[in-house]
Amino acid sequence: MHYIKNAFAGDGIKYNEYLHPLTIGEVELPNNIILGPMAGVSDLPFRLLCREMGAGLVCMEMVSSKAITYRNKNTDAMMEIHPSERPVSLQLFGSEPEIMAEATRMIASKPYDILDINMGCPVPKVVGNGEGSALMKNPRLIEDIVRAMVSETDRPVTVKIRKGFTDASVNAVECALAAEEGGAAAVAVHGRTREQYYSGKADWSIIRDVKRAVRIPVIGNGDVVDGESAKRMMEETGCDGVMIARASEGNPWIFREVIKYLETGEHIERPSMKEIYDTVIRHADLQLKYKGEYIGIREMRKHVSWYTTGLPGSAKFRAAINTMDDMESLKKACADIFGVE
C-alpha cells in the first residue's frame, strides 16, 4: 500500500470515528481532513503551509487537460510540486475523454499521488466550454471520462462534483454512481449547485445521499469552518472525510485546529499576531522562491488581505499593499499592521 506520513499529524495522533486515516485507491492518507482545490489559491506555497498545519491531502488548483497536451509552459509551472507536500492531488479539467486520457498519459512520470477531475467549477468561461460543473448535465460523459483516465494510470482517479447544476436538476447521486461505474476511487461532493456558486447554505443532505448510494469514499465539502462544523458534517452525512477550501484562505491554521478538535474535543488558541506575521512572511518568501518577485508579490496581495481581515486599519492597509511592487515593502507593511518589530 502507498502510505505517506503527514508532517504534523503523524505519530501520537489519537484517531477516532471522526479523525482517521483514509484510503483512496492504493493511497493511504494520514488523516481525512483535506485542502480543497482552489484556482489561484491552492498553489505550491499555500499547499506547503497547509501541509505543515496537518492537512492529510492537499489538492492543486485545476489544470487544463488541453494545456497539458499542448505542453503549455505556464501550465508546467502550475504543476510543480514539492516532495514534502505529498500526498498531493492534481486536478484536471476538460470534457473530452480522449484528451483527458492523453493528458493522463503525458504526466505518467510526475509524482502526483491522486488525479482528480473537476466537475464542479461554476465560472462561465469553464462551463461555457462544457467543462467543470457543466459535466453534471451528462452523467454518461462523466463515466466515459473517468474510465478513459483510469485506463491510462495506476493512480487513483477521483471526482469533485456539486449538488447539481441547478436546483431543478439535483443529480449528485446519479453523477457519483456514474463516476464509480467508470472506476473512480472516491468522490468529493460540494453541497451547492452551480447556480448557487458559493452563496447561500450548503446542503449537507446531498452528501449523505451520495454516501448511501456509492461504495467508494465520499468527501464532504461546503461550510466547514472549524472543528465543530467538521464533526457535525461527518455526524449528519456519514462522509469519510472533510474538504476545506475557502475557510482556509488566510487561515492555514484551520487544519491543526480541526484536527485537534476532532482528536480531543478541545479548541486550541488562535494564532498570535507574531505567529500570523511569521506565517505571512514565510508565505511571501515561498512566493518569491517559486514565482519570482514580480508575480510573487502580486499573487501575495490577496493572501495578505485575507490574513489581515478584521484587523484595525485593514482596509487602508489593503489599499496600500495593492500598490506595492517589491517584497521588502510588503514585509515592512505587514510588520506595522501586526505590531511586530
**pLDDT, the chain, mean:** 93
Model confidence at 3: pLDDT above 80:
no
Domain ranges for the chain, please list them.
2-264, 273-338
Against a cut of 0.85, is the pTM above it? yes
Q: Which CATH number among 3.40.50.10490, 3.30.70.1710, 2.40.400.10, 1.10.1200.80 corresponds to the domain 273-338? A: 1.10.1200.80
Q: Active-site residue among 50, 59, 121, 175? A: 121
Model confidence at 10: pLDDT above 60:
no
According to the model, what pLDDT value does residue 93 have? 96
According to the model, what pLDDT value does residue 1 have? 30
According to the model, what pLDDT value does residue 128 have? 92
Model confidence at 85: pLDDT above 90:
yes
According to the model, what pLDDT value does residue 314 have? 87
What nine digits make up the cell of 128?
461555457
The rounded percent of the chain whose pLDDT value lies above 90 is: 85
User: Which of 122-131, 179-188, 292-301 is most confident?
Assistant: 179-188
According to the model, what pLDDT value does residue 325 have? 87
Report residue 8's pLDDT band, with 50, 70 and 90 as the boundaries: very low
Model confidence at 5: pLDDT above 90:
no
Secondary structure, 3-state, 30-61: CCCEEECCCCCCCCHHHHHHHHHCCCCEEECC
Q: Which CATH number among 3.30.70.20, 3.30.360.10, 3.20.20.70, 3.30.470.20 corresponds to the domain 2-264? A: 3.20.20.70
Give the pLDDT mean for 332-336: 91
- Contact yes or no for 91/160 (Cβ under 8 A): yes
CA-closest candidate to residue 36, choices 169, 198, 165:
198
Q: List the beta strands (DSSP E) in 152-308.
A: 157-162, 186-190, 218-221, 241-244
Q: How far is CA 72 from CA 67, 69, 78, 282, in A?
A: 5, 8, 10, 29
pLDDT tens column, 61-78: 999 999 999 988 888 888
According to the model, what pLDDT value does residue 168 have? 94
- Contact yes or no for 147/98 (Cβ under 8 A): no
pLDDT tens column, 181-200: 999 999 999 999 998 888 88
Q: Which residues contact 209 (CB under 8 A, 6 or more apart)?
A: 172, 173
**Catalytic (active site) residue 239:** no
DSSP-assigned letters across all residues of 316-339: HHHHHHTT--SHHHHHHHHHHHHT
H or E segment to which residue 27 belongs: strand 27-29
Cα(218)–Cα(206) distance, rounded to whole angstroms? 11
According to the model, what pLDDT value does residue 259 have? 97
Cα(100)–Cα(306) distance, rounded to whole angstroms? 34
pLDDT tens column, 252-296: 999 999 999 999 999 999 999 999 999 999 999 999 999 999 999
Q: Average the pLDDT over each of 9-23, 61-75, 160-174, 214-228 and give the range with the smallest value.
A: 9-23
Count other Cβ atoms within 10 Å, centred on residue 267: 12
Model confidence at 4: pLDDT above 70:
no
CA-closest candidate to residue 189, choices 212, 159, 168:
159
Q: How buried is 293 (Cβ within 10 angstroms: 0-12 exposed, 13-18 middle, 19+ buried)?
A: middle
According to the model, what pLDDT value does residue 12 have? 64
